[in-house]
Amino acid sequence: MSSQDRSFERVNQKRRTRAELLRSARAIIEGGGNPSVPDAADAAGISRATAYRYFSTADDMIREAVLDGVATGIGVERPANDADDETVGLLLDKLVSDVFGMILENEAVFRAMLGTSVNGQNKNRRGGRRISWLRDTLSPLEDRLSQAQFQRLVHSLSLVLGIESVIVMRDICELEPKDAEQVLRFTARAVLASALADPDRKAS
């Protein structure tokens, strides 16, 4: 296994651990409880010391658990490996639209979470759900682009998914929701088209 593969696996393991903690916290919340970090760790079968590396306070964990529950409503359709570029583009367009709608419906909570990140109250890294969504949606392209090209595409498109992009559209550009969504979908299509037109793309 290469060092790059090992690094990728470590990142995936961290995401899985984080996801297990959030699932446990959400289950406690749904059962009427108010979970502490140790409560979630015990329920998930994860050491408390490890859990505290992900969430320093119960408030951070609970807020993220609520958002995680909201985000599970995003139904990402993983296309068949032989899906053509046009099909992948349509699924990407749907993903951008779905995520935008989900954020608008829960905008106050997303803004609160972002606020704790930028003001230094929350030192923990946020989840990487958008990366997983994009990797699944774009999965047929993994065999049509180099690893570096595929990673660059996923990272570039991550800029149009999330509360940060909504803030730029709504607060800075002062766009109405419908127009903001159209701009983000346009941007995603343009980024994808650029990647597919790369002269160094693998031959089909």
Segment 102-133, tens digit of pLDDT: 888 878 777 766 765 555 555 555 557 889 89
Asked whether residue 52 falls in the same domain as residue 122, the answer is: no
User: Are 94 and 180 found together in one domain?
Assistant: yes
Residues 109 and 81 in one domain: yes
Q: Is 93:134 a contact under the CB 8 Å cutoff?
A: no
User: Do 99 and 184 reside in the same domain of the chain?
Assistant: yes
pLDDT of residue 178: 95
Enumerate residue ranges in the chain where pLDDT < 50: none
Clarify whether residues 11 and 67 are in a common domain: yes
Is the four-CA dihedral 34, 38, 39, 43 of positive or negative sign? positive
Tell me, yes or no, whether 51 and 105 share the same domain: no
Same domain, 36 and 120: no
> What is the model's pLDDT at position 6?
64
Contact 78, 139 (CB under 8 A): yes
What pLDDT was estimated at residue 73? 72
Answer with the one of 55, 72, 89 that is the final residue of a domain: 72
Report the pLDDT value the prediction gives residue 129, as an integer from 0 to 100: 80
Count: domains in the chain: 2
Residues 95 and 191 in one domain: yes
The last residue of a domain, from among 26, 50, 72: 72
Report pLDDT for 4. Answer: 59
Indicate whether 145 and 167 sit together in one domain. Answer: yes
Domain boundary among 23, 52, 72: 72
Task: State whether 80 and 181 are in the same domain.
Answer: yes
DSSP string, the chain: --HHHHHHHHHHHHHHHHHHHHHHHHHHHHTT----HHHHHHHHT--HHHHHHH-SSHHHHHHHHHHHHHHTT-------TT--HHHHHHHHHHHHHHHHHHHHHTHHHHHHHHHHHHTTS--SPPP-HHHHHHHHHTGGGGGTS-HHHHHHHHHHHGGGSSHHHHHIIIIIS---HHHHHHHHHHHHHHHHHHHHT-TTSPP-
Residues 200 and 131 in one domain: yes
pLDDT of residue 8: 61
What's residue 12's pLDDT? 75
pLDDT confidence of residue 167: 94
Cβ-based neighbours of 8, under 8 Å, separated by 6 or more? none
- For residue 168, what are its two tokens? 């730029």
pLDDT value of residue 150: 94
pLDDT at 102 (0 to 100): 87
Q: Is residue 12 domain-shared with residue 57, that is, in the same domain? A: yes
What pLDDT does 204 receive?
Answer: 54
Task: List CB contacts of 55: < 8 A, sequence separation 6 or more.
Answer: 21, 37, 40, 61, 64, 124
Domain interval for residue 26: 1-72
At residue 113, the pLDDT reads 65
